[in-house]
């Protein structure tokens, strides 16, 4: 039986008590305190902390973190996100790119993931600072691969072009959910079609650029809607995909509709690979940048 056929037969289980398969291990390993100290010294922010990622202990203990650029205040309010909503009123830390590049060098990272808060208060959505950060890393650590997870940059083609000219190895942008649920889950300034358009433009910009996206499950999506979303992403040229369980950050955020069991995530991974994705991470605790380096290796023909 194919993955698609198995998915059609799965029962829908509602959200109750947190299931046994969602457990977060405590921090382990010598790298954890080193990562924490370096971040504090260089005044670097991470999406790991700001978005309350359940994988923070695992990733920091392994010596990796996803750095968040342009501050910690986001100008958008999405119903699923724990990042603070507040306008920075055009304030930008111009020293951030140099500090990030120094951190990557001192960390000795071979692969780094950078993301951003949405900055609708900036004319270019923060594209210039994102590009400057990639350029600074290239200068300090030429061998380091850079994955850049961007917002929709207000749909401005000029802003996307600015980011792409810095030559990230991976350009990621998350559709977050299926088309029907997008308007109620994401900020009103975001849209499912505009996200697909950004990914399509990025994929068409260079054969060397790898594009990536992510979807949260457990928000009330149907199997047919999920399959349609995967097909949309493949049509947009997306090669890497992450699928994870939505976890409610607080009582003020969108409730969980159901907890998706690990075996169903396994079937979605198989289905995505059938559709032609080069690399897929799929599981209850998977997030956008989870095991990003390994996923990238699959896209370029590695293990």
Whether 67 has a pLDDT exceeding 70, the answer reads yes
pLDDT value for 156: 96
pLDDT digits (tens, 9 = 90+) for 135-152: 999 999 999 999 999 999
Number of Cβ within a 10 Å radius of residue 111:
19
Q: How far apart are CA 78 and CA 149, in angstroms?
A: 17
Residue 11's pLDDT is 42
Q: What is the pLDDT of residue 2?
A: 56
Predicted confidence (pLDDT) per residue in 171-207, tens digit? 999 999 999 999 999 999 999 999 999 999 999 999 9
What pLDDT score does 8 carry? 47
Question: Is residue 64's pLDDT more than 70?
Answer: no
The pLDDT of residue 157: 96
Mean pLDDT, residues 57-79 taken together: 81
Report the pLDDT value the prediction gives residue 13, as an integer from 0 to 100. 42
What pTM was computed for the model? 0.89
Q: How far apart are the first and last CA of the chain?
A: 26
Tokens of 18: 């947190």
User: pLDDT tens across 71-105, in order?
Assistant: 989 999 999 998 899 999 999 999 999 999 999 99
**CA–CA gap between residue 210 and residue 172 (Å, rounded):** 8
Residue 50 has pLDDT above 80, yes or no: no
Q: For residue range 264-294, what is the model confidence (pLDDT) as tens digits?
A: 999 999 999 999 999 999 999 998 888 899 9
CATH superfamily of 3-11+27-299: Aldolase class I (3.20.20.70)
Q: Under DSSP, is residue 17 helix (H, G, I), strand (E, B) or coil?
A: coil
Q: Where are the domains of the chain?
A: 3-11+27-299
């Amino acid at each position: 039986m194919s993955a698609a056929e198995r998915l059609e037969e799965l029962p829908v289980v509602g959200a109750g008590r947190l299931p046994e398969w969602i457990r977060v291990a405590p921090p382990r390993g010598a790298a954890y305190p080193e990562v924490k100290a370096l971040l504090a010294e260089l005044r670097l922010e991470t999406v790991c902390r700001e978005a309350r990622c359940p994988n923070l202990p695992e990733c920091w203990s392994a010596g990796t973190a996803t750095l968040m650029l342009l501050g910690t205040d986001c100008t958008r309010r999405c119903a699923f996100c724990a990042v603070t909503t507040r306008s920075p009123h055009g304030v930008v830390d111009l020293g951030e790119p140099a500090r990030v590049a120094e951190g990557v060098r001192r960390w000795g990272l071979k692969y780094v993931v950078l993301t951003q808060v949405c900055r609708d208060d900036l004319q270019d959505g923060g594209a210039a600072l994102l590009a400057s950060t990639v350029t600074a890393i290239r200068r300090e650590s030429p061998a380091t691969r850079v994955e850049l997870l961007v917002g929709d940059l207000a749909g401005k083609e000029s802003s996307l072009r600015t980011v792409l000219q810095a030559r990230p190895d991976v350009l990621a942008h998350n559709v977050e959910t299926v088309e029907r649920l997008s308007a109620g889950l994401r900020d009103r300034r975001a849209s499912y079609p505009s996200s697909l358009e950004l990914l399509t433009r990025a994929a068409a910009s260079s054969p060397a650029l790898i594009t990536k996206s992510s979807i949260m499950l457990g928000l009330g999506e149907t199997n047919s809607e999920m399959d349609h979303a995967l097909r949309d992403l493949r049509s947009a040229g997306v090669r890497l995909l992450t699928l994870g369980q939505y976890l409610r950050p607080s009582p003020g955020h969108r409730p969980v509709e159901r907890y998706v069991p690990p075996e169903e995530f396994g079937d979605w991974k198989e289905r995505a690979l059938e559709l032609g994705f080069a690399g897929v991470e799929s599981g209850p605790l998977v997030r956008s940048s989870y095991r990003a380096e390994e996923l990238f290796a699959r896209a370029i023909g590695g293990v």
